[in-house]
């Protein structure tokens, strides 16, 4: 039986193996994914984002508990683009979600950087497709609040849950990244700590300034105390409510269309980059970089040179690489 066929039957080991192949960008993974795609698109994908240490993993452990009580099957992907530098973060995630590791209806997978950070979001989205095809009802994707990977995951999610905690200047970071704009639900975690109420009020005030059209989803702020499993029902119900909103408003197909387009464009971008790297066995790119360093060319004119080379390549049937 193929790996894909096993995944469709819900085989956890096959799914884990396939995700590893995706991480390695193996050709076999592409082939297997081809037969999985028709079975995707059913799961509800929730991106869980926020600065390190705000309590995302602890909160997710509670969310898993809630959804399991609703008899939903759950997939969890924890990604950490910084783990190569800091180490240990993923281990912490695993420990905090340990309650559910023995539950066969919960599939938890961590992804760490293997060099190129850009590959991480791609691998995570691949892992989402695998869990979706496996038949998971809800997929939670945890990412730390840092730059591009986070933004890519937010784009890939149906619902974005932003987790914040009092202190540490989270507010400023969030505004910078524009993540607040894309948050559908906000958890102000560590409600046991000083400043949580204040943060909730400040966030509500900021959200009020957002331009709303009639019928738009109103981002809600919920206080949680993840270490004591407090606020879990409110936050989980809000996530399910958002899912209902997406369906009822027709927003879901729109988001999914955007997502499909983005994935397609990023895949093409990958192909083009590969082609550029392979021009004259890599020498062409290096030559242009030399020209840039020597001030002989601007990035624009170097890029224009590459464009002409590629255009020639794409139209010429004789030339092969």
Ligand X SMILES: Nc1nc2c(ncn2[C@@H]2O[C@H](COP(=O)(O)OP(=O)(O)O)[C@@H](O)[C@H]2O)c(=O)[nH]1
What is the DSSP code (8-state) at residue 225?
A: B
What is the DSSP pairing of strand 44-50 with strand 74-80? unpaired
Q: Is 110 helix (H, G, I), strand (E, B) or coil?
A: strand
Residues in 92-121 at the binding interface with ligand X, rule: CB under 6 A: 92-93, 96
Q: CB under 8 Å to 207, separation ≥6 — which residues?
A: 180, 218, 219, 221
Rule CB under 6 A: choose which of 21, 29, 54, 153 binds ligand X: 54
Extract the tokens encoding 194. Answer: 């000083």
Kindly tell me which of 90 and 125 has the beta carbon lying closer to ligand X.
90
**Residue 53 touches which of Mg ion, ligand X, none (Cβ within 5-8 Å per kind):** ligand X
Which two three-digit tokens encode residue 12?
A: 């956890």
Per CB under 5 A, 143 contacts Mg ion: no
Looking only at the bridges linking them, the beta strands covering 138-144 and 159-164 are unpaired
Q: Quick one: what does residue 192 bind among ligand X, Mg ion, none, with the CB cut-off 5 to 8 Å set by partner type?
A: ligand X
The reply on whether position 58 binds ligand X by CB under 6 A is yes
Please identify which residue in 57, 219, 224, 232 interacts with Mg ion, judged by CB under 5 A: 57
**The tokens 């409510």 sit on which residue?**
241
Q: Which residue has the tokens 């987790």?
A: 163
d(CA 73, CA 43): 10
55 binds ligand X (CB under 6 A): yes
Task: Name the binder of 143 from ligand X, Mg ion, none, CB < 5-8 A by kind.
Answer: none
What span, in angstroms and rounded, lies between the C-alpha atoms of 133 and 130?
5
Number of residues engaging ligand X in binding (CB under 6 A): 18
Please choose, out of 45-53, 117-125, 258-266, 270-278, the segment that lies near ligand X by the rule CB under 6 A.
Answer: 45-53
- Asked if residue 192 binds ligand X (CB under 6 A), the reply is yes
Residues near ligand X (CB under 6 A) are: 50, 52-58, 92-93, 96, 189-190, 192-193, 225-227
Residues near Mg ion (CB under 5 A) are: 56-57, 93
């Amino acid at each position: 039986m193929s790996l894909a066929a096993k995944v469709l039957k819900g085989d956890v080991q096959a799914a884990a193996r396939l995700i590893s192949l995706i991480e390695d960008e193996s050709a076999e993974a592409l082939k297997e994914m081809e037969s999985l795609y028709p079975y995707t698109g059913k799961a509800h994908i929730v991106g869980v984002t926020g600065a390190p240490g705000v309590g995302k993993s602890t909160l997710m452990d509670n969310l898993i508990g809630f959804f399991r009580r609703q008899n939903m099957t759950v997939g969890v992907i924890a990604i950490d683009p910084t783990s190569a530098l800091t180490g240990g973060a993923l281990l912490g995630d695993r420990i905090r979600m340990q309650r559910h590791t023995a539950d066969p209806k919960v599939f938890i997978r961590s992804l760490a950087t293997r060099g190129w950070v850009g590959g991480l979001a791609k691998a995570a989205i691949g892992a989402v497709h695998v869990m979706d095809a496996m038949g998971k009802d809800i997929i939670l994707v945890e990412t730390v609040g840092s730059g591009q990977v986070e933004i890519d995951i937010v784009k890939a999610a149906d619902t974005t849950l932003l987790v914040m905690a009092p202190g540490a200047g989270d507010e400023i970071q969030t505004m910078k990244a524009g993540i607040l704009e894309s948050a559908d639900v906000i958890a102000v975690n560590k409600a046991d700590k000083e400043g949580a109420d204040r943060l909730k009020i400040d966030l509500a005030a900021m959200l009020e300034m957002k331009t709303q059209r009639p019928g738009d989803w109103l981002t809600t702020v919920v206080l949680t105390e993840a270490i004591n499993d407090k606020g879990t029902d409110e936050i989980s119900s809000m996530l399910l409510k958002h899912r209902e909103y997406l369906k009822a408003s027709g927003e879901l197909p729109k988001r999914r269309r955007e997502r499909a387009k983005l994935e397609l464009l990023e895949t093409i971008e990958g192909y083009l980059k590969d082609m550029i790297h392979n021009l004259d066995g890599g020498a062409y790119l290096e030559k242009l970089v030399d020209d840039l360093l020597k001030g002989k060319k601007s990035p624009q004119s170097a890029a224009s040179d590459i464009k002409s080379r590629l255009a020639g390549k794409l139209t010429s049937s004789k030339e092969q690489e």
